[in-house]
Amino acid sequence: MLIAKRVKDNQTMRIGLNFDGIKVSDYQNRSKPLPPQEYIQDSFQIFLEHGIDAVRIPVYWESYEKDPDGFIEELNLISNEADKNNISCIYDNHQWECSSFLGYGIGFPNSIVSALFQNNSFHHDPHKHPSKKDVEKFWNNWWDRTIKSFDGEDGWNKQLEFIQKVIEAVNNKKSTVAFKLLNEPQVFRHSDFKKISKYHDNLISKITDLTDKPLIFCYSYAGRFYTLNLPWIQAKTKPSLPVKNEIIFDIHPYPPYYMVMLYFRLVLKLMKINTVLAGEYNSGTGKGVKISLSQHERYLKTFKKFLPYGIMFWQWSYIRDNDHPAFNLAKNVNGVITANDNFESFVTAIKNS
């Protein structure tokens, strides 16, 4: 069974999931549990057996800085397994809560973040939530383009070097279908929505010389309540450069309620973009959130009404998320990765849709 379902004449919707790697998603400032043996190989075999033919691979800049050779080696392993099992891959330059340097987030490397906070008198705890003040300081400086690495180089350009390494490693693999510029940018000032467009243009102007594959930019999140994220303000983040690559807008509905999708439809209309990817979705982000077969089926029906390019469930990982049971698709049984009940419901919903 192909997971890409026909939703309209000459259109298909990719239905897949997010895949948590090992070296490509390692923390720079805290340890990560060891994976089951053959975790990557066994996972892709499970995907093949259950008809999953599309995955989104979050990759992290700080993981590359921690172990460049191990990072590229794992990218090659993932892309080779994807090639072998006919699974399409989207590679996502991911960040969540900025960096493990500031707390339990992950994304930007020490060489970038620590340079901005080197005069702080306190030590950031990588196991605790980062302070809102620190996160705001980082993003304000990032959009002002004042952050430099320890060697004095421009932060935007240093990030481009990382993205280039990812593209060089997997661009020629048959399984590679698209690249994501940056996951979930945060905004604390209204003026920065327009700056994000300039940031996208800066990346795209260089990346388009490296690949002809689609490029994905993400919905930008307001870091404070008073930074109103109205559709016409969000539309300002759209890249403006005319390029040969297809440009795709990425949204993360948690969950994909009908009204939420109407909001994104308006943003797309204002941006004049036809292709939308739900790069992440689930039943919510609250502590203890769960998901049922009926929820899976309801979400798929909602997505089909809005005809996205693809939807990627969050997530398949060998690390159990105890706070969010709905986020778990896999489990470790005696050192072997296997699917859990959430995954079985997910696949059943796809078959029934």
CB contact at 8 A, 291 and 326: yes
C-alpha separations of 71 from 75, 149, 183, 244, 318 in Å: 6, 20, 19, 29, 18
pLDDT at 4: 36
Report the alpha-carbon distance of residue 206 to residue 160 in Å, rounded.
Answer: 8
Residue 336 has pLDDT above 80, yes or no: yes
Q: pLDDT band at 353, cuts 50/70/90?
A: confident
Residue 95 tokens read as 């960040």
Average pLDDT value for residue range 52-60? 97
Residue 123 burial by CB count (10 A; 0-12/13-18/19+): exposed, middle or buried? exposed
pLDDT above 90 covers what percent of the chain?
A: 88
pLDDT of residue 316 exceeding 60, the answer is: yes
Per CATH, the number for 13-352 is 3.20.20.80
DSSP states along 15-58:
EEEEE--SGGG--SSS--PPPPTTHHHHHHHHHHHTT--EEEEE
Q: What is the pLDDT of residue 60?
A: 98
Q: Is the pLDDT of residue 335 over 80?
A: yes
Burial of 97 (0-12, 13-18, 19+ CB in 10 A): middle
Residue 332: strand, helix, or coil: strand
Model confidence band, residue 3 (pLDDT cutoffs 50, 70, 90): very low
Cis peptide before 242 (omega within 30 of 0): no
Query: What ranges do the domains of the chain cover?
Result: 13-352
118: pLDDT strictly greater than 90: no
Distances (CA, A) of 312 to 19, 260, 333: 10, 17, 25
Of 199, 229, 204, 227, the residue nearest 215 (C-alpha): 204
* Alpha-helical segments (H) within 171-229: 192-207
| Confidence class for position 11, pLDDT limits 50, 70, 90 | low
Question: Are the beta carbons of 214 and 246 closer than 8 angstroms?
Answer: yes
Other beta carbons within 10 angstroms of residue 231's beta carbon come to: 16
Report, as an integer, the average pLDDT of 288-310: 95
Mean pLDDT, the chain, rounded, equals 93
Residues 125-146 pLDDT 10s: 777 889 999 999 999 999 999 9
Query: Which of 33-37, 56-60, 124-128 comes out lowest in average pLDDT?
Result: 124-128
pLDDT at 7: 37
Q: Comparing 112-126, 191-205, 256-270, 323-337, which segment has the lowest mean pLDDT?
A: 112-126
pLDDT surpasses 90 at 5 = no
The two tokens of residue 254 are: 């948690």
Backbone angles phi, psi at 49, to 5 degrees: -65, -25
Summarize pLDDT for 153-176 with one digit per residue, the tens.
999 999 999 999 999 999 999 999
d(CA 312, CA 304): 13
pLDDT band at 8 (very low <50, low <70, confident <90, very high): very low
Nearest to 314 by CA among 343, 293, 348, 335: 343
Query: Does position 64 have pLDDT exceeding 50, yes or no?
Result: yes
Contact 8, 304 (CB under 8 A): no
Tell me the two tokens of residue 331.
């489990």
pTM of the prediction? 0.95
- Phi/psi of residue 178, each to 5°? -170, 165
CA-to-CA distance for 243 and 201, rounded, in angstroms? Answer: 10
CB 283 within 8 A of CB 314: no
Residues near 164 by Cβ (< 8 Å), separated by ≥ 6? Answer: 206, 207, 210
